Amino acid sequence: MIRVENLVFEYERRAVAAAPAERNTPNEPDETASRASERDDTAESTGGRNDTAASTDGRTLDGISLTIPDGEFLLLAGPNGSGKSTLVKQFVGLLEPDAGSVRVDGLDPAAEPVRVRSAVGMVFQSPRDQLVASTVEADVAFGPENLGLDRPEIQRRVEEALSTVRMSDRRTERVVDLSGGERARVALAGVLAMEPSHLVLDEPFIGLDARARESVLEHVRELAAGDTTVVVVTHDLRQLLTLADRVVVLSDGRVAVDGAPADVRDRLSALGVDVPATADEGCRQPPSDQRHQSSSGGA
């Protein structure tokens, strides 16, 4: 379970607190540069969108409370700058709250990041942020190897993950020679190979062609049918409303909508979320209702 309680995250407060350069002695670290780097990293991993300008009082996240039960499929939506990427980074301890708390399976991500990141697999918008090896196969194998798995199990996971993202025939290629879309597929495969109990996908379909998108969607369907928690951060709801148990929409750093897709669909457009127009991409209640009776629990 992922639980967020009264979460506040303020970029502006941190920037102001660190601003006076004269307060740094020659032997002290420059906190201003550190915070600026943190903001640059966040902007990069959100595809250049500025998630730091969310609310008018300088709070990127302003009192968010949210409970995501095990096995739930949740869509996290909202306009640019609403705080979506900033929120999910708290799940793995990449950012720490100024107030409130985040717990993943009872653990504080900031205090126990290694344990939490073994349970939460996260795919960022910018694939270069998480590619670590020189070849496709080596990169996808990196995570399972660090779990201490035996070679046959590592190979099984790598093959399955590469097949899911349609990169099996590129396994020996160098990562630096891949296109942006191909790197995105490799980054996704690397997380899938970890087989985490919680999977967070931040705009996972950017850079994917139609066949790769469908392959990833099929795998997400399989995960959602099991016990894996799936959180998809997206502005593109095509084929996802039919899968989701729940939709949460952020606006100005706050939870504006939280409910079942069928119940909230008519409210999405007014909050800057594009809603699929066709019936097959629309809002049928998924059969997972029977699997996740607890998913109606919200903030």
Percent of the chain with pLDDT over 90: 48
Question: Could you tell me the pLDDT band of residue 172, with boundaries at 50, 70 and 90?
Answer: very high
Check pLDDT > 90 for residue 159.
yes
Distance CA 88, CA 201 (A): 9
Token output for 166: 């349609």
pLDDT digits (tens, 9 = 90+) for 39-80: 334 433 333 333 433 444 456 899 999 999 999 999 999 988
Average pLDDT on 260-282 reads 79
Q: Flag whether pLDDT at 235 surpasses 70.
A: yes
Amino acid 58: pLDDT: 53
pLDDT at 63: 94
For 176-194, what is each residue's pLDDT tens digit?
999 888 888 898 899 999 9
Out of 83-92, 167-176, 215-224, 257-266, least confident range: 215-224
pLDDT bucket at 163, cuts 50 / 70 / 90: very high
Residue 157 vs residues 1, 62, 63, 134, 197: alpha-carbon distances, Å: 24, 39, 39, 19, 15
Closest to 21 (Cα-Cα) out of 35, 9, 40, 41? 35
CA 16 to CA 192: how far, in whole Å?
A: 39
What does the pLDDT read at residue 135?
96
Residue 170 has pLDDT above 50, yes or no: yes
Q: State mean pLDDT over 200-229.
A: 82
pLDDT per residue as tens digits for the range 90-106: 999 999 999 999 999 99
Domains defined along the chain, listed by start: 2-19+37-290 (3.40.50.300)
pLDDT, greater one: 80 or 137:
137
Integer CA distances (angstroms), 283 to 157, 193, 212, in order: 33, 30, 23
- The residue-averaged pLDDT of 146-163 equals 94
Q: What is the 3-state secondary structure (H, E, C) of the chain?
A: CEEEEEEEECHHHHHHHHCCHHHCCCCCCCHHHHHHHHHHHHHHHCCCCCHHHCCCCCCCEEEEEEEECCCCEEEEECCCCCCHHHHHHHHCCCCCCCEEEEEECCECCCCCHHHHHHHEEEECCCHHHCCCCCEHHHHHHHHHHHCCCCHHHHHHHHHHHHHHCCCHHHCCCEHHHCCHHHHHHHHHHHHHCCCCCEEEEECCCCCCCHHHHHHHHHHHHHHHHCCCEEEEECCCCCCCCCCCCEEEEEECCEEEEEECHHHHHHHHHHHCCCCCCCHHHCCCCCHHHCCCHHHHCCC
Distance of CA 34 to the CA centre of its chain: 23
Burial of 182 from C-beta contacts in 10 A (0-12 / 13-18 / 19+): buried
Name the pTM for this structure: 0.76
C-alpha 143: how far from chain center: 17
Q: Would the pLDDT of 12 be above 80?
A: no
Average confidence (pLDDT) over 120-135:
85
Q: Are 220 and 232 in contact (CB under 8 A)?
A: yes
